[in-house]
């Protein structure tokens, strides 16, 4: 069924606690944890607890939860005190754009200067 946990999904295993992660925030619908390979002083991933392969399919099926991901991304930025200096929220979508984990996730990046446009 849409949104159900997938046995082969790394981020579903982080949601269930089967794989450990450094969790910085949790809500009824989302989990936020530090990226294992940080690309900036703050690099946190915000994921929905439900499984959808990317942000667009999450938003189409569960718009409230997609909004929760954005709200939590903003809360992470405030917690990490990067909201005043500027930060980026990124949804890599598709392998051509660098997506490697096919469970929707927002990258929250900040704490250093960020180039525009990104590579």
Among 24, 33, 59, 103, binds Zn ion (CB under 5 A): 103
Query: Which string of DSSP letters, residue by residue, matches 17-48?
Result: TSS---EEEE-SSEEEEE-SS-SSSEEEEEEE
Q: Which is nearer to ligand 5GP, 35 or 83 (CB)?
A: 35
Cβ neighbours of residue 101 under 8 Å, at least 6 residues apart? 9, 10, 11
Q: CB under 5 to 8 A by kind: which of ligand 5GP, Zn ion, none does 33 bind? A: ligand 5GP
Among 7, 37, 84, 115, binds ligand 5GP (CB under 6 A): 37
Task: Give catalytic residues, as residue numbers.
Answer: 105
């Amino acid at each position: 069924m849409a949104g159900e946990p997938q046995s082969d999904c790394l981020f579903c295993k982080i949601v269930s606690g089967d794989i450990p992660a450094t969790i910085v925030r949790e809500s009824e619908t989302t989990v936020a944890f530090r990226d294992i390979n940080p690309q900036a002083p703050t690099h946190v991933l915000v994921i929905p607890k439900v499984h959808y392969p990317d942000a667009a399919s999450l938003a189409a099926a569960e718009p409230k939860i997609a909004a929760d991901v954005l709200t939590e991304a903003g809360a992470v930025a405030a917690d990490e005190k990067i909201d005043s200096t500027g930060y980026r929220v990124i949804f890599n979508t598709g392998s051509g754009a660098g997506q490697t984990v096919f469970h929707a996730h927002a990258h929250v990046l900040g704490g250093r200067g960020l180039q525009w446009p990104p590579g």
